[in-house]
Amino acid sequence: MIPVLALVGRPNVGKSTLFNRLTRSRDALVADFAGLTRDRQYGEAKHAGRPFIVIDTGGIDGSEEGIDAPMADQALLAIEEADITLLLVDGRAGLNPGDQHVVDYLRKQERPFIVAVNKVDGVDQDVAMGDFYSLGVENIYAIAATQGRGVSTMLDKLLAAFPASDDSDQDEEESGIKIAVAGRPNVGKSTLVNRLLGEERVVVYDQPGTTRDSVYIPYERRGQKYTLIDTAGIRRRGKTTEVVEKFSVVKSLQAIQDANVVVLLVDARDSIVEQDLHLLGYVLESGRALVIALNKWDGMNEYDKDSVKKDIRRRFVFVDFAKIHFISALHGTGVGNLYKSIDKAYESATRKLLTPRLNEMLERIVTEHAPPMHNNRRIKLRYAHAGGRNPPLIVIHGKQTDKLPASYVKYLEKSFRKFLKLEGTPIRIELRSDDNPYTKDEAELNVQQIARKRRLKEKSGILESEIMKPILIIKTGNTVQTAYAKVGDFENGLLKVCRVNLIILL
């Protein structure tokens, strides 16, 4: 059994800094002001070969109100889940009534805990710890989370109380299908995450910007493993002024890149706005599978619903492959249907494409609508094969493929999607032109290309030694006389024989 450690304490005592130190990551946002962390953040850590799980929480001190109240509830839930709680206090600020409040709560709940006095770097350690002995706690450790001072010693004693884990417990479990819920601020992303999980896992409050970190939540549903990612709302760049919000946006964009399927949440009452289209464009550029959900559908009258549907048909025409759902995250209407589209989009994005099938489809597609002409020559598409998954990448080889217009590439994408029955995922087409061995000297070619070049020349009846090379041009009035010699007659740039062919061009 892997032990679970919960980090709790007043705001701005260094919990997120210690979390990043233990997990050796930057998953938790860190800034020099209170109240930055709001949701429970889970991370995997290892010390001296011993794995354990760390939970980062928001600050609690017993005086929470407004948005801080549900944030404190998340911290209390983390205490209930943990095997042991690490109460982090500020050694520079000294003992605070909020610290005493947390200690009283832990004792009342009979939860095992230790106290770590943080920020002892640059100050006398004995003086910094002196105030906290009045808490009556047996295990008090002095640490500096930013530098890692004292952390190793504390973990040695903390983990010694737990039995060693079996090797089977240390194996990394598959994360399953990663689902990122993305959208503008205050469209209901955290509400949808809680509805999908069936519990109040993340903080929900009627205020834009409630979520700041990208929270990864692994779970299992009907035998299928998922990892749900709740992201911070992404506003227009001009409206993003706070430094913390900018970091939150970066975390959200990284979560989209890390996900297998993105559920783009749109506020149906606002219809489709420009920022929704910008986010949609970023998801497509990332190549992620896509499911679109219009939230807050309940309570709208029929006229507004028809207006939104017309707007969707007009503005979402370039993502006609994505499934669109009309839901209410608050009441759960239509939320269960999202899983069917998510599973289908993931299956389409990760499906293995067989080369014989792709070539058969390419031949059929080209037969139905041939590529256009370029310089009086038909662009040729010879064969295709798979080049990657998530998103599906189809590599097509041919002649003059760089001259293929974008409209025909779009036709190829839609045709392959139709024949392969792919849903919810973009398709990428990569065009490659065959090398022309006649355009390069043999010194620039490899062995196979040299053999091919000679084979093509022999097949066409042209030997390099028989090629005629002009050696003399004589112009008399309107008459031009050109003397040619065979390439085989040259040696070190000089003619071996005097025989030449004279061709008169009038």
Check whether 365 has a pLDDT greater than 90: yes
* 32 within a domain of the structure (yes/no): yes
* 460 within a domain of the structure (yes/no): no
Q: What is the pLDDT of residue 65?
A: 60
The structure's pTM equals 0.65
Task: Report residue 295 as tokens.
Answer: 């939230």
Tell whether 392 and 323 lie within a shared domain. Answer: no
Q: What CATH number corresponds to the domain at position 410? A: 3.30.300.20
* 451 within a domain of the structure (yes/no): no
Check whether 73 has a pLDDT greater than 80: no
Tell whether 383 and 234 lie within a shared domain. Answer: no
Tell whether 346 and 428 lie within a shared domain. Answer: no
Domain-ending residue, one of 144, 170, 196: 170
Cis amide prior to 208 (ω within 30 degrees): no
Q: What is the pLDDT of residue 396?
A: 93
More confidently predicted of 121 and 263:
263
Tell whether 340 and 372 lie within a shared domain. Answer: no
Q: Provide, rounded to the nearest whole percent, the portion of the chain with pLDDT above 90.
A: 19
Report the C-alpha gap between 141 and 136 in whole angstroms: 13
pLDDT tens digits for range 177-221: 999 998 888 888 888 888 888 877 665 544 444 555 667 888 888
* 457 within a domain of the structure (yes/no): no
Tell whether 317 and 369 lie within a shared domain. Answer: no
Report the C-alpha gap between 372 and 383 in whole angstroms: 17
pLDDT tens digits for range 305-316: 899 999 888 888
Q: Are 91 and 129 in contact (CB under 8 A)?
A: yes
Q: Are 227 and 217 in contact (CB under 8 A)?
A: yes
Domain-ending residue, one of 334, 350, 366: 350
Tell whether 197 and 165 lie within a shared domain. Answer: no
Tell whether 382 and 331 lie within a shared domain. Answer: no
- Look up tokens 């090629």; give the residue: 467
* 447 within a domain of the structure (yes/no): no
Domain-ending residue, one of 382, 410, 433: 433
pLDDT tens digits for range 61-70: 766 665 566 6
* 501 within a domain of the structure (yes/no): yes
Report the C-alpha gap between 456 and 438 in whole angstroms: 9
Tell whether 143 and 288 lie within a shared domain. Answer: no
Arithmetic mean of pLDDT over the chain: 79
Report the C-alpha gap between 487 and 469 in whole angstroms: 6
Q: What is the pLDDT of residue 444?
A: 67
Tell whether 150 and 62 lie within a shared domain. Answer: yes
Reported confidence tier of residue 490, pLDDT bands at 50, 70, 90: low
Q: The domain containing residue 252 runs over which residues?
A: 177-350
Low-confidence winner among 117-121, 320-324, 392-396, 477-481 (lowest mean pLDDT): 477-481
Low-confidence winner among 20-24, 102-106, 118-122, 459-463 (lowest mean pLDDT): 459-463
Looking at the 3D structure of the chain, how many domains does it have? 4
More confidently predicted of 505 and 98:
98
Q: How many CA atoms lie within 13 A of 6 on its CB side?
A: 24
Report the C-alpha gap between 503 and 15 in whole angstroms: 90
Report the C-alpha gap between 234 and 222 in whole angstroms: 32
Report the C-alpha gap between 425 and 440 in whole angstroms: 40
pLDDT tens digits for range 262-287: 999 998 888 888 888 888 888 888 88
